[in-house]
Structure 1
Amino acid sequence: MTPQTFFSLPKARPLTSVRWALAFPLFFAMYSCDDSTYLPEKQLTNDLSYHHDLDNNDNFSPDNQWLVYDTRTDDGGIAASAKIEKVNVNTGEKKVLYALSQNQEWGPGAGAVSYSPVDHAVVFIHGLMSVTKDNPYQQWRRTGVIINEISPNKPVFMDARDITPPYTKGALRGGTHRHEWSGDGQWIGYTYNDAVLKALEDSTGQKHNLRTIGVSKRNMPVSLEKDVAGENVSGTWYSVLVVRVTPTPTPGSDEISHAAGDSWVGNNGYLKPDGMRQLARAFVGKVKDKNGKDVDEVFIVDIPEKIDEAGEFGPLEGTDTNFPMPPKGTVQRRLTFTATRPQAGCTGIVRSSPDGNMLTFLAKDAQGVQQVFMISPNGGAPTQLTFHPKNVEGSIRWHPNGKLVTYVYDGSIVACQIGTEPFEQRLNVLTKPTSPSPSNLVWSHDGKTLAFNRTLTNSEGYSSKQIFTINPTISKK
């Protein structure tokens, strides 16, 4: 593969005090500006009185014209976020998609919003409407809400919530978080905490409130007739948990006590060795090494098309003492085995290439430096993609063409080509280094715009996240 099939970029400033010679033009063509070593940035939001938080989600509308975000505060977090807004990438026009007129510092709250890749609809966390100062927004007291843009401010509750026994198949019992649409818009994945097991933990003093991962499937509504003080909610999608967790993993086993950092594998799953496409989510799971020490490893869970049939581990709806169990056909597999190495552990959100052939994550190299690694969803040995002298900060994002990844390093957004050329030839810096660093990177679907957050400070000393974009252009060579 020749460099001309990627983007072209003049030589940029070195990322460290070591001067790397970039042997040929790389990915991005720069526009003329005063500082020609960086891509020019466009600031889309300017109201410094509140956050415009992209929150590491999929924030671009299907037509690439809008970015959606929440308005959380530093002190109150999502509970204090009363609005979901969007901003036009070209004009800077802002619109409110959803607003909670009576929101308090304890909730209900609305945040961590993602756009559907196929419909003009967004999904986000919504706290229970029954919140009070004494019973506020919590990880286990929230649901996913969808807003269709043709009907702003009309919430559609996605995942049903039922905390009253006997529990209901297709409903969960706690709170969903960081919702992500599948490539075809027919599924939504998320992390989850369980209210029933949180109550059990409070009553026994033993650990039960564990984070795990679930999915919801479109066009399978779950209606509830019962309610307890506004705690139960009917849902328009069918919801199940797909990852098993336990408070007491066996040392040296593949059992996990925590699952997060999850995302869909590919826009349309991944290709298994038998040639079949498989729907799946990749994530980071916490195991115990043989000495009983916690280690984070990369896992994958294959998800069956049919999710309304119970599997071998227990009922879909759960019990008073255990989680809802995954549906029949769900397969949970460990992909990395760093626990036996001196530099153990993986971190960050596991991000998949668009074709599903490769997963990226953060881990330490032999020198103890945090780098970007890749691994196949079918397993095998990980491949080290980056070789920086200092830690990669995070925010890994694949370009939609699947040929490079962007991430944050040393206060800058950088791009790294997937390939076999020397690292120095695959790498370049795209934005000026700043402190705080940019965060929450997200590519438009057409690959022409990269959006991110920068933290700015107003004249009163209040700092807030604002949205910026850079606009690479594809080389015509």
Structure 2
Amino acid sequence: MKYLLLTFIVSLLSACTTMEYLEEKQITNDLTYHHDLDNNDNFSPDNEWLVYDTRTDEGGIAASGRIEKVNISTGEKKIVYQLPSNQPWGPGAGAVSYSPVENAVVFIHGLMSVTEANPYQQWRRTGVIINTDQPGGKPIFMDARDIRAPYTKGALRGGTHRHEWSGDGQWIGYTYNDAVMKALEDSTSQKHNLRTIGVSKRIGAVKVEKDSKGDNVSGEWFSALVVKVTPEPKPGTDEISHAAGDSWVGTHGYKKPDGSPQMARAFIGSVIDKNGKKVDEVFIVDIPDDITKEGNSGPLAGTETAMPAPPEGTVQRRLTFTANTAQPGCVGIVRSAPDGQSLAFLAKDTKGILQIFTIDPYGKNLTQVTHHDSPVEGYVRWHPSGKSLFYVWKGSIVKCNTGSESFEKRYQLLTKPSAPSPTNLVISHDGKTIAFNRLIGNAKQIFTGKL
């Protein structure tokens, strides 16, 4: 009798342990190409579809000739957009995100003038929007591109990447590289092609005169760069040479002291410390509602020797100062809580272990959220409630609540450890489903789990 009772208790405990893990559901199965979520915002507004690109290991985004979506309940696939004759060198279509408020997606689109000798590049691409309610929908070129002086206000001169919609769907933010600066860099052998951050707003089309090569593109949204970068930052200052790892702050910005909302993007910027070493820190840039007004640092359209300048009213601020500590540097994508009052990022703790930290938009209330004994792998995402974070650690997807309880009580493994680890986490708008990539054979497949 005692043996039977002990067996029952062990079985019950085992069942409870098993129940702690997500019930994973594999949504895609084709092993001939990746179904890459790319760490973007992939859920449709109704939480029923996931959008992804079809890149390959060999060709990357250049070799992705299709954008697809899959229904998480039925597994039905639909082609959202297809290039008629994509080549291994491009044009390419990838890194796609869904609008949170309408059935539209935005993604990288290489220039149609691409050739094997002049392929898809960081500075040779634009953002394209597709209405997913329209099968075979007409591509809407979002950001205008003008690489022939005199340049056009509201247009950029290169390539936008990793596009992200704002909470109201009226803005799209992205990282950026400049073709004019790349040409200057090639001719001078000095660094000019610096990655930075821009935004586009749905306030009117920007028409650009076509060129013979087809490198100029008109756009339906007004675009501007909002972060200032410089090739050689002064040591010990807040000047930066590189900006990336960016995302919108809050669903509708963050609250200013007077209670009004402020649109902003948080990002990782590269400074030079007082000893001449590059250190990545967390920054924020406040973005004015009107991005059409030129500021004091130069023309919005740029010049032949200078990047497009941020509009009047942008304010760029440094939030972290890890360069002054024993464990300098911040990494990953800076992810904001829905209310905009807490920004999550990765940095090393005093033991040198990569952990999740949070800080507010004013550079205060720095908090270490995780206390693992080995590094957090990344893919940090907030739950829509703003009360928990999801990430990958030791091959498992982890949920960690914020708050003052002990760390052991706040975190929970949602998946069994695996190698390779799951990647590209994304949470549905209603907070009920998590989606992620797993490598099955040689192809990334999409999995989901109920939260």
Q: Distance in 2 between matches of 1:231 and 1:389?
A: 50
Q: Distance in 1 between matches of 2:308 and 2:197?
A: 11
Task: Show the counterpart of 1:83.
Answer: 66
Residue type at the aligned position of 1:104: Q
Q: Distance in 2 between matches of 1:160 and 1:308?
A: 14
Q: Distance in 1 between matches of 2:398 and 2:311?
A: 40
- The counterpart of 1:335, out of the listed 296, 311, 319, is 319
Residue type at the aligned position of 2:122: Q
SS in 2 for 1:263: strand
Q: Distance in 2 between matches of 1:82 and 1:92?
A: 21
Task: Show the counterpart of 1:447.
Answer: 431
Equivalent runs, 1:118-267 vs 2, <5 Å: 118-153=101-136, 154-267=138-251
Deviation string, structure 1 residues 206-229 (Cα, Å, up to 9, x no partner) = 000110000000132101123241
Match status 1:36 vs 2:15 = no
Q: Distance in 2 between matches of 1:274 and 1:311?
A: 24
Q: Distance in 2 between matches of 1:255 and 1:413?
A: 36
Q: Distance in 1 between matches of 2:17 and 2:331?
A: 37
Task: Show the counterpart of 2:4.
Answer: none
Maintained 8 Å contact 1:114/1:179: yes
Give the deviation of 1:101 after TM superposition: 2.1
Task: Show the counterpart of 2:90.
Answer: 107
Maintained 8 Å contact 1:289/1:339: yes
Q: Distance in 1 between matches of 2:16 and 2:95?
A: 34
Task: Show the counterpart of 1:70.
Answer: 53
SS in 2 for 1:199: helix
Q: Distance in 2 between matches of 1:330 and 1:383?
A: 27
Query: How many equivalent residue pairs?
Result: 436
- The counterpart of 1:417, out of the listed 401, 411, 420, is 401
Give the deviation of 1:34 after TM superposition: 10
Task: Show the counterpart of 1:464.
Answer: 443
SS in 1 for 2:408: helix
Maintained 8 Å contact 1:126/1:145: yes
Equivalent runs, 1:382-461 vs 2, <5 Å: 382-457=366-441
Q: Distance in 1 between matches of 2:33 and 2:259?
A: 49
User: Moved runs in structure 1, 4+ residues, more than 4 A?
Assistant: none
Give the deviation of 1:276 after TM superposition: 1.8
Q: Distance in 1 between matches of 2:182 and 2:135?
A: 34
Maintained 8 Å contact 1:164/1:228: no
What stretches of structure 1 of length at least 5 have no aligned partner?
1-31, 458-462, 473-477
Deviation string, structure 1 residues 202-253 (Cα, Å, up to 9, x no partner) = 0000000110000000132101123241100000000000000001000000
Shifted more, 404-413 versus 373-382: the winner is 373-382
Residue type at the aligned position of 2:449: I
Give the deviation of 1:352 after TM superposition: 0.2
Give the deviation of 1:49 after TM superposition: 1.1
What stretches of structure 2 of length at least 5 have no aligned partner?
1-14
TM-score (norm 1): 0.90
SS in 1 for 2:56: coil
Give the deviation of 1:381 after TM superposition: 4.4
Q: Distance in 2 between matches of 1:185 and 1:300?
A: 20
Residue type at the aligned position of 1:254: D
Cα gap change, 1:163 to 1:33, in 2 (>3 Å): farther
Q: Distance in 1 between matches of 2:212 and 2:346?
A: 43
Residue type at the aligned position of 1:192: Y
Maintained 8 Å contact 1:273/1:378: no
Task: Show the counterpart of 1:15.
Answer: none
Deviation string, structure 1 residues 86-114 (Cα, Å, up to 9, x no partner) = 00010000000001121000000000000
